[in-house]
Amino acid sequence: MSSETAPIVQIRNVSKTYRRGSQAIKVLENISLDIKEGEFLALMGPSGSGKSTLLNLLAGIDSVDSGSVTIGGIDITKLSETDLAGWRAVNVGFIFQFYNLIPVLTAFGNVELPLVLTTLTKKERREHVEMALRVVGLADRMDHYPGQLSGGQQQRVAIARAVVTDPVILVADEPTGDLDRVSAAEILDLISRLNRELGKTIIMVTHDPRAAEKARIILHLDKGIFADVPS
């Protein structure tokens, strides 16, 4: 990565092994990576290559066996579970493959969810939510429940939820994996716009080469190591 500014994400010598019964499966092996602020990175690789695991580690939802993950100057591997939860609430926005919206909440309620943990007043929360839904083009659907929205619209709500707290990084795990071609293209355009126009740092895992093309950097993982050494 560029050496002009300090990278916002620094991964150093990270290894991760999962255990299934007596069997140890090495998923990541001594991985190091720097990601600059405002970057859009796509992680590709076959199933089981460790890309989702890497995404989970730098999003603070899984723990390393060894090595360090520093985001915005904080080594998150040193944080307690409670501190890590608080850190995630402020610093990471998540976009999942299956949207993971709460079905009993409206689009508005789903986007408001991460703001519940902040000190914002109800009025301020409303303003933030409306802004986020406007950004994703769903201002007119805020009272709709997930079941009343198409897959593409649900993913837009999920993106609004991811950006509403203005996080340091956005992580997306196969964000178009459950969408038809047209919806997938719209979602990718939206994610690209977030990176281009709002300067969001985005790390996206994908199998889809068309999705990866939207990223500025594409890295391939294979059997827990980078197939192409990051420059």
> Interface with other proteins by CB under 8 A: which residues?
53, 56, 59, 61-62, 81-82, 85-90, 94, 96-98, 100, 102-105, 112-114, 116-117, 161, 178
**How many CB atoms within 10 Å of residue 100?**
13
Residue 45 or 93 having the CB closest to other proteins? 93
Residue number, 125 or 214, with CB nearest to other proteins: 125
**Cα(148)–Cα(42) distance, rounded to whole angstroms?**
31
Question: Between residues 117 and 198, which has the closer beta carbon with respect to other proteins?
Answer: 117
CB of 131 to other proteins, least distance (A): 18
Backbone angles phi, psi at 154, to 5 degrees: -65, -40
Nearer to other proteins, 21 or 103 (CB): 103
Return the exposure string of 117-131: e unless at least 16 CB atoms fall within 10 Å of the residue's CB, then b.
eeeeeeeebeebbbe
CA-CA distance, 208 to 178, in Å (whole number)?
A: 12
* Residue 38 Cβ vs other proteins, minimum distance, rounded to whole Å: 23
Distance CA 103, CA 222 (A): 36
| Interstrand relation of 217-222 and 225-226 (parallel, antiparallel or unpaired) | antiparallel
Q: How far is the CB of 206 from other proteins (least distance, A)?
A: 16
Of 5 and 66, nearer to other proteins (C-beta) is 66
Work out how close the CB of 229 gets to other proteins at its nearest, in angstroms, rounded to a whole number.
Answer: 27
Rounded to a whole number of angstroms, the minimum distance from the CB of residue 123 to other proteins is 14
What is the rounded CA–CA span in Å between residue 168 and residue 85? 15
